[in-house]
Amino acid sequence: MELNKRMKTILAAVVHRYITTAEPVSSSIIAKEYNLDLSTATIRHEMYWLEKYDYLWQPHTSAGRIPTDKGYRFYVDNLMIKRYLKENEKREIIQIYKKNKELEETMKITSQLLSKLTHNLGVVLAPIIYDDLVRNIQFIPVGNNRVLTIIVTDTGLVCQKLINVSGEITKDRLSYLSNLINNKLTEKDINIINLKKILKDELDKILSFQERFNYIYDFLEDCLNFKSLKNKVYLDGRTNIMRQPEFNETIKLNYILSIIEEENILANTIRKCLGFRKIKVIIGKESKLKEIQSCSLVTSKYNIKGKPAGAIGVLGPTRMDYSRMISIVEYVSDKLSDILSEF
Amino acid sequence: MELNKRMKTILAAVVHRYITTAEPVSSSIIAKEYNLDLSTATIRHEMYWLEKYDYLWQPHTSAGRIPTDKGYRFYVDNLMIKRYLKENEKREIIQIYKKNKELEETMKITSQLLSKLTHNLGVVLAPIIYDDLVRNIQFIPVGNNRVLTIIVTDTGLVCQKLINVSGEITKDRLSYLSNLINNKLTEKDINIINLKKILKDELDKILSFQERFNYIYDFLEDCLNFKSLKNKVYLDGRTNIMRQPEFNETIKLNYILSIIEEENILANTIRKCLGFRKIKVIIGKESKLKEIQSCSLVTSKYNIKGKPAGAIGVLGPTRMDYSRMISIVEYVSDKLSDILSEF
DNA sequence: ATTTAGCACTCTCACCTCGAGAGTGCTAAA
DNA sequence: TTTAGCACTCTCGAGGTGAGAGTGCTAAAT
């Protein structure tokens, strides 16, 4: 099933052409526009076999050919010429990151950036911050029996949660508590996972007997169930994907709509498929998620201070410009890593 | 141009029927299903005049009638029977608000609630917090020369901003500064608008001469340009609106898509049209925003402690169940007011 | 052994016609 | 004032047609 050189050339031409026009590619178009010095008949002959081997398919007998998922896969792995972003595009990206933003804002503009550059759906998974060191913790009373707890980590993440307090905690006592803890945080490196346990131990040591009421521990227990710590997803360019010609038919569109609304489904899919390599391309039916099997997904992991932290990606029709998508996703993830590591 | 009683009845019937089926309503359907004890010919006669007066229109000669914007308007103002939510629906809403959430989360679930109940696009404008009293301010150093500033207001809003510091500010000095300010905040009621000016005055009094470096004021100046304070919008149910039969055609759909992506356009439109009355209904072309002229918008203001704070709304096709939309929007905004006032 | 010209074949698509059916407006009678 | 009756208009889907696109195959050319 080895493809010979000529078949590869033709496959590359078909993919290239289909990516730009979204219309089935005929033998005569290849002959005319790709200077292969071959007659249409010869090209047809090769296409015939490319179809037999499942790299191409036809919507009907008298139509041109369209790449299959396998065809795209072969193209991405073997034929595609890796391009790099132009200098002005790079400059534009850097420009956008130049102003200091806190984490939330940074995530948001990254998804906007991806969507704007690729004209597809931009996806950003917030960093998993289990390894983050806790910088600061604040307890602020709001109303009666309620405390707003804010945790700031060394990557600049701000988590907040509103907590019901069963007993009575005065403002002074709360600030005493947060001061105690903040001092501990300066002495030791405490990550967000250990926080609960360490806090308990430390507080046992520090607090006097009568202060060691149970509700303080219940309260801390409560504090640390921050839902928002994981699964935060940022999407931008939802409408880009809907404007693609392949989703003209409402039925096909409907299928994808659910994905666009249910951010977490997409996020989990990306999370599951993140492998060893930095950049990953998932083409059509390679995805286990039925709803996006007419789409491809290009993802890249990003780092914070060298450690893998999260991922960004682009979702678009399988007929996407893989080379360009990859270079954008790669460059943006590099810059994002830089920015986040600066904190 | 006064409509007689029979015309009103027929208009109400047409609107009611069209709202439920999305198909032009013929005279025979009215005769059959609405027990008016009139022949189709008579109904046709009345419809003829309703069309002349611009309450109804026909897509073509042999089609039934469809309400015009004017028709819907008359229906909403004069014919509609106000319904109330069922007890179990009310219970469901209350249930969702039961768990304590901070402001951001509350906004989010409100938009989800609206979209789920109405099957349309749910819109929530975050409270305008210029009148909010500042409860707490924290300066937390992150990395070199950067300070994360967090402001918490009495309505539970948490604003954050990352600020570049030109000079050198140590952690101790920052916490000294925030302690100073927080003490001031306890003594006086300071709202977010006055914060800057008051801080400057107070700091002049409190800080010793050598501490009164310019960069502290620059820094404070910077702190208070919180973009996120205004214009925050929460949307949910983007796909609901796309699934409506009237937007089957891609061209019409495209028109609305931009609105769905550009949250702020919609938010500004809502903000502009908020008038004296609590509930406001904008039907089709009554809106100045071209993109939503095939839609209607039902909005309601909500309060915090009696003072108007923000607004919620529902965007759907002009063919929406106005009575139900209004009762949902009204009830949800009441409950939201309650929740936010509890802080 | 490859490549190509030529041609029959297949399928889509745009366009047409046509008749059924829906719903109307008008008129004359009740 | 209401209604029955009817001619009229328009849509919609079915069916037919021909042009055009593109193919697969075959036999001839290289």
Mean pLDDT, rounded, for B28-51: 93
Average pLDDT in the A21-25 region?
94
Q: Which residue is nearest to nucleotide C22 (CA to C1')?
A: B62
Q: For residue B76, what is the DSSP state?
A: I
Three-state secondary structure string covering chain A: CCCCHHHHHHHHHHHHHHHHHCCCECHHHHHHHCCCCCCHHHHHHHHHHHHHCCCEECCCCCCCEEECHHHHHHHHHHHCCCCCCCHHHHHHHHHHHHCCCCHHHHHHHHHHHHHHHHCCEEEEECCCCCCCEEEEEEEEECCCCEEEEEEEECCCCEEEEEEECCCCCCHHHHHHHHHHHHHHHHHCCCECCCHHHHHHHHHHHHCCHHHCCHHHHHHHHHHCCCHHHCCCEEEECHHHHHCCHHHCCHHHHHHHHHHHHCHHHHHHHHHHHCCCCCEEEEEHHHCCCHHHCCEEEEEEEEEECCEEEEEEEEEEECCCCHHHHHHHHHHHHHHHHHHHHHC
Which chain A residues touch B242 with a CB distance below 8 Å? 242, 253, 257
Query: Which chain A residues are closer than 8 Å to B104 by Cβ?
Result: 160
Q: How far is CA B59 from CA A333, B26, B68, in A?
A: 52, 12, 11
Q: In this predicted structure, what is the pLDDT of residue A208? A: 64
Per-residue model confidence as pLDDT tens digits over A60-80: 998 999 999 999 999 999 999
B279 touches B80 (CB < 8 A) = no
Measured CA to CA, the distance from residue B295 to residue A263 in angstroms comes to 26
Chain B CB contacts of A150 under 8 Å are 138, 150, 152, 158
**Residues of chain B contacting A243 with CB distance shorter than 8 Å:** 254, 257
Is B142's CB within 8 Å of A343's CB? yes
A41 contact to strand C (CB, 7 A limit): yes
Domains of chain A: 5-79 (1.10.10.10), 87-128+230-342 (3.30.450.40), 134-229 (3.30.390)
CA-atom Rg of chain A in angstroms: 26
Those residues of chain B whose CB sits closer than 8 Å to some CB in chain A are 100-102, 104, 135-136, 138, 140, 142-143, 146, 148, 150, 152, 154, 156, 158, 160-164, 171, 186, 237-239, 242-243, 248, 250, 253-254, 257-258, 260-261, 342-343
pLDDT in tens, B147-159: 878 888 877 777 7
Nearest residue (Cα to C1') for C6? A41
DSSP H helices in B75-170: 87-98, 103-118
Residue pLDDT, tens place only, B303-339: 988 888 899 999 999 999 999 999 999 999 999 999 9
Beta partners for residue B140, in sequence order: B148
Q: CA A19, A25, A30: angle at the middle one, nearest 5?
A: 100
In terms of CA atoms, which chain B residue is nearest residue A250? Answer: B248
DSSP code at position B5: H
B132: distance to nearest CA of chain A, Å?
13
Which amino acid would we find at residue B286?
E
- Residue A248 CA and nucleotide D14 C1' are separated, in Å, by 25
Average pLDDT estimate for A251-278: 83
Q: Can you give the pLDDT at residue B93?
A: 96
CB-hemisphere CA count at 13 Å for A187?
Answer: 9
Please tell me the distance from the alpha carbon of residue A136 to that of residue A156, in angstroms, as a whole number: 10
Strand D at less than 7 A from CB of A39: no
Q: Which of B135, B148, B342 sits opposite A152 (nearest CB)?
A: B148
Dihedrals phi, psi of A48, to nearest 5 degrees: -55, -45
Burial A63-100 (b: 16+ CB within 10 A, else e): ebbbbbbbbbbbbbeebbeeeebeeeeeeebeebbeeb
pLDDT in tens, B114-139: 999 999 999 999 887 767 788 888 88
Q: What is the DSSP letter of B90?
A: H
Share of chain B above pLDDT 70, in %: 87
- In angstroms, the separation between the Cα of residue A94 and the nearest Cα of chain B is 18
Q: Which helix (H) or strand (E) holds B269?
A: helix B263-273
Ordered strands of the A158-164 beta sheet = A134-141, A146-153, A158-164
pLDDT, tens only, A204-240: 776 666 565 565 666 666 666 654 455 688 888 888 8
The CB-side HSE value for A136 (13 A sphere, CA atoms) comes to: 23
State pLDDT tens for residues B274-302.
888 899 999 999 999 999 999 999 999 99
Burial of A277 (0-12, 13-18, 19+ CB in 10 A): exposed
